[in-house]
Structure 1
Amino acid sequence: MMKVDDSKNKLSLAELLNTKGFVEHVSVDCVIFGFNKDELKVLLLKYHEVDRWSVPGGFVFKDESLDDAAARTLYERTHLENLFLQQFYTFGSVNRTDENNPHRQLLKSLNLTVDPDHWIYQRFISTAYFALIDFTISHTFPDTNNEVCAWFSVDDLPEMAFDHEKIVKKGLDFLRLNLDYNVVGSNLLPEKFTMKELQTLYETILGEKFRRNNFQRKVLSLNMLQRLEKLYTGSANKAPYLYKFLKK
């Protein structure tokens, strides 16, 4: 789990742009997935003055690691903390500066002026992280005057800033390739769940259907589940077993 370093001073955007404390041209971005009503969603943010959405992210101080920067910027922008953030890719194409860059629009709306060759307008190398969280904790997001947080279906993304649509899709690819490992440590399901609920989660993330017997056999062979008591609901149907993930 990555914890936030509260010793960092909260600076205004103007102060951030003029400080010498950042590693120029280096940033972090966080792709946060949540699961709700059989739908996989991703958390996005948007400044009110900008017409494009982005994943939570920010700059890196010279005296902090990339991991600490990811945890700090995520907390500052969403109040999410103590998450298991995992690096999954580094984005550094030569045209990142030119892809839907909203910085000029944002600075103009805030009446902020920087030199035309300021590093904020130049190419950034961004290390991307992802996490799986409980969708229901969205009420913890801060209520700010200039920024909004919202969930979007991974299949219906809004217009994105920079190359963040590519970042979300790359994060989804990584999740799908490593689903067996990552779902164990996630909060996408309650502590106790049925095999049907687990199958629905897999089918939603992977975008495909499985035969019930084949899925159960495959999942049980991974030795990641502990079978518990049966779930009795009073219906005439056969009561299913409850399961929980074994601790890593």
Structure 2
Amino acid sequence: MTASAAATAAATSAAGTAAPVPVEGARPVVLVVDDDSRVRTVVAWQLEAEGYRVVEAGDGGAALRSVVTDRPALVVLDVSLPGTSGLDLLRRLRAEGDLTPVVVLSGRCGEGDRILGLDLGADDYLVKPFSPGELAARVRSVLRRSGTRGPSRPPATPDPASKLRIDPWTREVELDGEPVPLTAREFDLLAFLAANPRQVFTRAQLLEQVWSSMRSWQSEATVTEHVHRLRHKLGARYLVTVRGVGYRLEP
């Protein structure tokens, strides 16, 4: 057994083969493993907005080290990794008795690929491109099934005095005390801007951060259209156009 394998097995044995429940304060740790830094960034933003602490790894070796040192409550694992593939990494963890819940991300949508991932011990399987909101929902579902308590409810943003209330936990928006119905992508865009008040983002940056893995078939006009829809629903006072640059949210 290799040194890293021994360390992983030792950590698992100490936990009694049950999935560890690491927390920082009340925040479960989620390990995001993907060789694409853009995917890691958008997944981390979504999960951190919901109260999790996120650690990242870009390859299998870094992921194995993080499993031992950070003891995540759950792993979000990409199949296509340099060197050791995601499925090989999953197979190794399960062979060593590590029962940490794993949500697999894959660009392969075939039934056989999903069955293989689940048979190897994955707790859920999500096909790329995916919605960050859906991934977060699956993370919550898997953690509930594993018995891990979720993070404390994060505060709504921005300041309630602004009359605009955004709750990242329930994905609900209120304006002057009245609910505002938003599509999933409209909410993702608004929540991202609200998490960075007064910071100006170009359309390309918003496309990168909010649409992430779907960027290859989206254009910057998509951002413009979603901003237009949000202004129609919220009024013009919150979403400000900075001419020649992009948009910001004014709380």
TM-score by length of 1: 0.35
Q: Which has the larger radius of gyration?
A: 1
Q: Greater relative contact order (Cα 8 A, min sep 6): structure 1 or 2?
A: 1
Larger fraction in strand: 1
TM-score by length of 2: 0.35
